Structure 1
Amino acid sequence: MGKTLSVNSGSSSLKWQLFQMPEETVIAKGIFERIGQEQSTMKVEFAGEKHSNEQKIIDVQQCVLLLLDTLIHYGLINDFREITGVGHRVVAGGELFKASVIVDEKVLGEIKELARLAPLHNLANPAGIEAFMKLLPQALPVAVFDTAFHSTMSEKAFLYPIPKKYYDEYSIRKYGAHGTSHYYVSQLAAEMLNRPIDELKLVSAHIGNGASITAIDGGTSVDTSMGLTPLAGVMMGTRSGDIDPSVIQYLIENVAHLNNAAAVLDELNNKSGILGISGLTSDMRDLNDARASGDKNAQLAYDMFIDRLKKYIAQYIGLLNGIDALIFTAGIGENDEAVRQDIIEGLSWFGMEISPELNIRGANGIISTAQSKVKVLVIPTNEELVIAREVETFRQLWFNQTFSKGIA
């Protein structure tokens, strides 16, 4: 018995959920946003109540202290020692981490080194881990890697067609991301379809501000759209997705303020995608409002977004030689019925058909018609629960080993 925190620490935000384990009961959840800016926000939900306030939060360390004080303030815990484990989402595990791991100083240093594979995330993740380890020394710290689920990809899928020495010597390869989400929804899809996961061929579409598509055969990742970093693949909120690599050199040589690779990568990561094409926003809700008002660039951004998603989904249906189900998940995938409708209309050749009524009703279950040859599902992702389960596995293992030693 114990309480476990699942944490997703970003460069300017920190999302969390507090679970009672092993019951998997959500006690509370919340988010800190705009960390390091003048007016940071904190939101917390529990027992049907919602609370929020604004104040300046300087860094992640202050954020973690505020979180723990908030748990005490609202009576969600009476003592810090009630928290027996903290699980941390880490985006990039590289070749080092192909499964979750208990964090020590060595592991923490290795996570920092892997920041080159996910600079937007892996620099922020260790700051959160360190803060929790300092303030909750009794809690078991566990890192759960987004890339771990994709470690089953074969060489033909994860290698780039460049001289192989760059993989052998520098570990340059496709690693993917969102693996925790793809794993969770694929397992739940098997339950919804009442079929063993090892019999299923699935395509999972994690569509949010960041987006990735994954081909899953028998419960294992066969291929995924993100690459060495989360910049590759489909068009996203602020990320370009796949482009001709020559574009980078061309921009460096011809655009004054993009005169080095770092500047171009910043442009591709933070100012491209839906934001770059629309010139307005990276948020699909705002984009839809602009489309409704007749904004041509907003409509173009939407059309390009749908186009890239359809291409990757179709590619992976071909790779798997057919699929049993297509899964929509994450913020846009779960909540935007128009995106789902427009994608499926462009894939009707594969025998997909969704019920307009079920599609509009949203957001948990099968939305395809009885006649559809491929099932289409909407499954809300729950990466936090997967993280909590990983912590519980390690905690039980640690307890059993300690107990056995004590008996001996």
Structure 2
Amino acid sequence: MSSLVLVLNSGSSSIKYRLLDPEAGRPLATGLVERIGQGTGRLVHEGPGGTHETAQPVADHEEGMRLVLAAFADHGPALDPAALTAVGHRVVQGGDRFDGPVLVDDAVEQLVEELSPLAPLHNPANLSGIRAARHAFPQVPHVAVFDTAFHRTLPPAAATYALDREVAAAHGIRRYGAHGTSHQYVSRETAAFLGRPLEETNTIVLHLGNGASVTAVRGGRSVETSMGMTPLAGLVMGTRTGDLDPGVLLHLLRVGGYDADSLDDLLNRRSGMLGLAGHTDMRDVHAAAAAGDERVQEALEVYYHRVRGYVGAYMAHLGRVDAIAFTAGVGENDDVVRAGCLAGLEGFGITVDPARNAGRKKATTVISPEGAPVTVLVLPTDEELEIARQAVAVVRAGDATAVSAG
């Protein structure tokens, strides 16, 4: 049986895709359709013949999928549905209904739609991509892989908010986490890199990008994570606040003239590093800090302070930490941030070697000194490869039972 998988990550106005051989661990093609429904759309396709770009109106995700198929037909590699083991889909929110990847049918589509209030910016877009792809590949198995599924192992003490139980139950309020596919991939690959059995390895994964989260992984299982019911909680992010006293929201509702929609915009799109420093790209942040902008320097310290606090808390939860792994766009490429996040933790056996840490890391790299009690490393994430592997496993097992009985 072929193991080729087409992985799709559909946003509200985009479709990211990658054709993978998960057994070889390599992509055959990758691409992006963006600005769907926004005037002139754009497709970039990278295949064996190089990079090809086109611009034209893209009305919806159905038309976006047609462009993807045309790009494979025109620029390769040939995309024969009979050669596909599966189409794998990233879905952000699985709520308490999905604890693993699942074959997609009409009932799963309906459940993904019902969970949209928990991820209103993500699930509807993910669902649009699923529907367009099922129409384009009706004979190929489709598998949904949920960002939240890896965190279903959180113990009740970590997942439960101290909110009235009836209110929480009625509205599905609990910690779900996010970036689970990345945290799962990185924690497993970290154990393999260290040559340790996964079930005996404790890792803190720092997924630092425009969205950022940290997870404590004990023996391959998520036991604590920084994102909460939504991806708004936890670390300082590009435009998101991270942790915030809920009383601040009540104060803004009462005296600031805000309503739910304007608060949503403030917390998700106008805060984080953008709100503190005026920039979301860390390269711009560092340039402004180097130029002496005190507000930007303070913003970086807030960012580092939040990460250090979570690292310390998760060391307490795990009891023993074998490795701290940096990943995602900032974690893989920004040596200044990596050093800043762990500065001052030397007393806990956590040290970053300046020479080893220097520069961007495109491969797994240890950045702690030789013999350090806690191995600090950079490990590039590959969420698409993880989705592809899970999709193949589900199809080959014929397992459509990942919907929990609850």
Shorter chain as denominator, the TM-score bin is over 0.9
342 and 22 in structure 1: CA distance in 2 versus 1, 3 angstrom threshold: closer
- Identify the residue that residue 273 of structure 2 maps to in structure 1: 274
Percent identity, aligned pairs only?
Answer: 43
1:304 counterpart = 2:305? no
- Identify the residue that residue 397 of structure 2 maps to in structure 1: 397
Distance, in Å, in 2 between the alignment partners of 1:29 and 1:193 is 30
Distance, in Å, in 1 between the alignment partners of 2:53 and 2:366 is 35
78 and 189 in structure 1: CA distance in 2 versus 1, 3 angstrom threshold: closer
* Partner secondary structure for residue 123 of structure 1: helix
Q: Which deviates more from structure 2 when the two are superposed, residues 374-383 or residues 337-346?
A: 337-346
Q: Which structure carries more relative contact order (alpha carbon 8 Å, separation 6+)?
A: 2
1:2-401 matched pairs, under 5 angstroms:
2-20=3-21, 22-47=23-48, 49-77=50-78, 79-256=80-257, 258=258, 260-279=259-278, 281-363=279-361, 364-398=364-398
> Following TM superposition, by how much is the alpha carbon of 1:139 offset from its aligned partner in structure 2, in angstroms?
1.4
Distance, in Å, in 2 between the alignment partners of 1:32 and 1:348 is 45
> Following TM superposition, by how much is the alpha carbon of 1:355 offset from its aligned partner in structure 2, in angstroms?
2.0
> Following TM superposition, by how much is the alpha carbon of 1:8 offset from its aligned partner in structure 2, in angstroms?
1.0
Q: Is the 8 A contact 2:81 2:140 kept in 1?
A: no
Cα-to-partner distance string for 1:368-394 (whole Å, 9 max, x where unaligned): 111421100100001101111112112
Distance, in Å, in 2 between the alignment partners of 1:293 and 1:324 is 38
The residue identity in structure 2 corresponding to 1:381 is T
Instruction: Find runs of 4+ consecutive structure 1 residues off by over 6 angstroms.
Output: none
Distance, in Å, in 2 between the alignment partners of 1:343 and 1:273 is 16
> Following TM superposition, by how much is the alpha carbon of 1:48 offset from its aligned partner in structure 2, in angstroms?
7.7
> Following TM superposition, by how much is the alpha carbon of 1:51 offset from its aligned partner in structure 2, in angstroms?
2.9
Q: Which deviates more from structure 2 when the two are superposed, residues 45-54 or residues 56-65?
A: 45-54
* Partner secondary structure for residue 55 of structure 1: strand
Report the TM-score, using the length of structure 1 for normalisation.
Answer: 0.92
Distance, in Å, in 1 between the alignment partners of 2:167 and 2:305 is 32
> Following TM superposition, by how much is the alpha carbon of 1:22 offset from its aligned partner in structure 2, in angstroms?
4.3
- Identify the residue that residue 404 of structure 2 maps to in structure 1: none
Q: Which deviates more from structure 2 when the two are superposed, residues 35-44 or residues 177-186?
A: 35-44
Q: Is the 8 A contact 1:30 1:43 kept in 2?
A: yes
> Following TM superposition, by how much is the alpha carbon of 1:297 offset from its aligned partner in structure 2, in angstroms?
2.9
Superposed CA RMSD in Å reads 1.8
The residue identity in structure 2 corresponding to 1:354 is V
Distance, in Å, in 1 between the alignment partners of 2:180 and 2:43 is 27
Q: Which deviates more from structure 2 when the two are superposed, residues 282-291 or residues 178-187?
A: 282-291
- Identify the residue that residue 403 of structure 1 maps to in structure 2: none
Q: Which deviates more from structure 2 when the two are superposed, residues 351-360 or residues 18-27?
A: 18-27
Distance, in Å, in 1 between the alignment partners of 2:345 and 2:34 is 37
* Partner secondary structure for residue 206 of structure 2: strand
> Following TM superposition, by how much is the alpha carbon of 1:78 offset from its aligned partner in structure 2, in angstroms?
5.1
Distance, in Å, in 2 between the alignment partners of 1:46 and 1:211 is 30
Report the TM-score, using the length of structure 2 for normalisation.
Answer: 0.93
Cα-to-partner distance string for 1:316-365 (whole Å, 9 max, x where unaligned): 11211231110100100011000001112132221112222221144222
Q: Which deviates more from structure 2 when the two are superposed, residues 367-376 or residues 33-42?
A: 33-42
Distance, in Å, in 2 between the alignment partners of 1:42 and 1:346 is 45
Q: Is the 8 A contact 2:3 2:392 kept in 1?
A: no
Q: Is the 8 A contact 2:48 2:77 kept in 1?
A: no
Task: Give unpaired runs (5+ residues) of structure 2.
Answer: 400-406
Distance, in Å, in 2 between the alignment partners of 1:377 and 1:169 is 42
- Identify the residue that residue 402 of structure 2 maps to in structure 1: none
267 and 188 in structure 1: CA distance in 2 versus 1, 3 angstrom threshold: same
Q: Which deviates more from structure 2 when the two are superposed, residues 190-199 or residues 13-22?
A: 13-22
344 and 154 in structure 1: CA distance in 2 versus 1, 3 angstrom threshold: same
Distance, in Å, in 1 between the alignment partners of 2:152 and 2:140 is 28
Q: Is the 8 A contact 1:68 1:80 kept in 2?
A: no
Q: Is the 8 A contact 1:92 1:118 kept in 2?
A: yes
* Partner secondary structure for residue 21 of structure 2: strand
> Following TM superposition, by how much is the alpha carbon of 1:302 offset from its aligned partner in structure 2, in angstroms?
2.0
Distance, in Å, in 1 between the alignment partners of 2:359 and 2:266 is 37
> Following TM superposition, by how much is the alpha carbon of 1:2 offset from its aligned partner in structure 2, in angstroms?
4.6
Distance, in Å, in 2 between the alignment partners of 1:293 and 1:50 is 37
> Following TM superposition, by how much is the alpha carbon of 1:117 offset from its aligned partner in structure 2, in angstroms?
1.2
